Amino acid sequence: MTARVLDHPGFAPELLALAAVRALGPGAAEWAELLRGRYPDAPADGLARLATRRFVGAAAAGGATAALAGIFAPMAELASVLWTQSNLVLHLAAAYGRDPAHPDRAAELLVLTRVHPDPASARAALDAARAADDPVEGAWPRAAEAAWRLAAPLTAQAGGWVALRLAARLLPGAAVLAAALGDSAATERLAARAVALYRAG
């Protein structure tokens, strides 16, 4: 996957979404199956609440840890948020009876994290990413666009990082607290969008 992302950096969000579904989907399916076996009468909304609580907490912890990475904090936070939010979406899909390892989850993941505006554009981009064979000449200019789309979950916080860096000099621990609160809030908003999608389905 690393080699494919390096060969086709413009498709980084799509390739990473496909990889997340392949890597995390089976675990999400096992989680839902295990809970349904233990609690056969548990409603889907109850499983969704468990998943949300788990991954909102993980997002807060990941954001707080990433904030300690100094100058690399935004990149560390991005990686942590993307991994946690991918896991959350796939667990919520499983809670509502969807197969979290199905390729359709990659398109939903791209839309729910606001990398793509709608399922049609997400599916078209995924098809193009799957069809990409040889490295494309001049692909790296598209890497900036891909990085921006990957960072969509954090764009609302981007302006705050500069202020946090300044505040951290005066108030030790401010960046850690703000990152934890910001990432948990962003993950809760993602959970609400995912629950609305999967419950309606």
The arithmetic mean of pLDDT across residues 50-67, rounded, is: 79
pLDDT at 201: 72
Q: Does 198 have pLDDT greater than 80?
A: yes
Question: Any idea what DSSP says for residue 201?
Answer: -
The arithmetic mean of pLDDT across residues 47-63, rounded, is: 87
Question: Any idea what DSSP says for residue 135?
Answer: P
pLDDT at 157: 46
Q: What's the rounded Cα separation, in Å, for the pair 35 and 27?
A: 12
pTM of the model: 0.78
Most confident of 65-69, 112-116, 119-123, 171-175: 119-123
Q: Environment class of residue 11 by beta-carbon count within 10 Å: exposed (0-12), middle (13-18) or buried (19+)?
A: buried
